[in-house]
Amino acid sequence: MEPFRALTALAAPLDRANVDTDQIIPKQFLKRIERTGYGEFLFFDWRRTATGEPDPGFVLNDPRYNGAQILIAGKNFACGSSREHAAWALSDFGFRAVIAPTFADIFFSNAGKNGIVLARLSETQVATLLNNAKTIPNYQLTVSLKAQTVTDNQGFSATFEIDPFRKFCLLEGLDDIGLTLRHEAALDTFEAKHDQANWLKAK
């Protein structure tokens, strides 16, 4: 997992509340066994028309937001089922941070395990950012995990809270496997002693 310290990037406005995980990554794409390749299916039902063509009315199809790495969304983002594929799809598409007033609890955990920083700001603050992203060309935000701030060059500044353990993991780029491997030497020692004990018992 890539460490996250601070990111300055283009921000895309998804001005919708209660975006559920079935919209983030529809169920028909959950048959894949890999954790990659989900980006092309992100928001598939919104990004595509009934004939499969890109819907020009959907924000992520707007050329102004090509390459956006920060998503601004409405409250209760990623509600619904607990599928981790939602975090995989957002990450694979290129998003490294999502800003919203509230997030579903399980998604909040899944996102952190996949290197995505979630910044919870007030509805008023998010409304300001949504408006800026819609009206200011090439609108960029800086999300600093170390300082726990969201800022822009228009004078906006806000702080967000994050669990210290989750912050540590994101700063260090540690997912669950990475956390376990930090104790690799101790695990190897334990396994060697365990194998030796079993060998002695068998004699």
Q: Is the pTM of this model over 0.95?
A: no
Provide the pLDDT for residue 32: 78
What pLDDT score does 34 carry?
A: 81
- In this predicted structure, what is the pLDDT of residue 195? 60
Which is it for strands 97-100 and 70-73: parallel, antiparallel or unpaired?
A: parallel
Q: Are 40 and 48 in contact (CB under 8 A)?
A: no
Calpha distance 97→7 (Å, rounded): 8
What is the model's pLDDT at position 22? Answer: 95
Residues 78-105 pLDDT 10s: 999 888 999 999 999 999 999 999 999 9
The 10s digit of each residue's pLDDT in 141-193 is 999 999 999 999 999 999 999 999 999 999 999 876 555 555 456 655 666 66
For residue range 28-63, list pLDDT tens digits in order.
998 877 888 999 999 999 999 999 899 999 999 999
User: What would the two tokens of residue 125 be?
Assistant: 């603050």
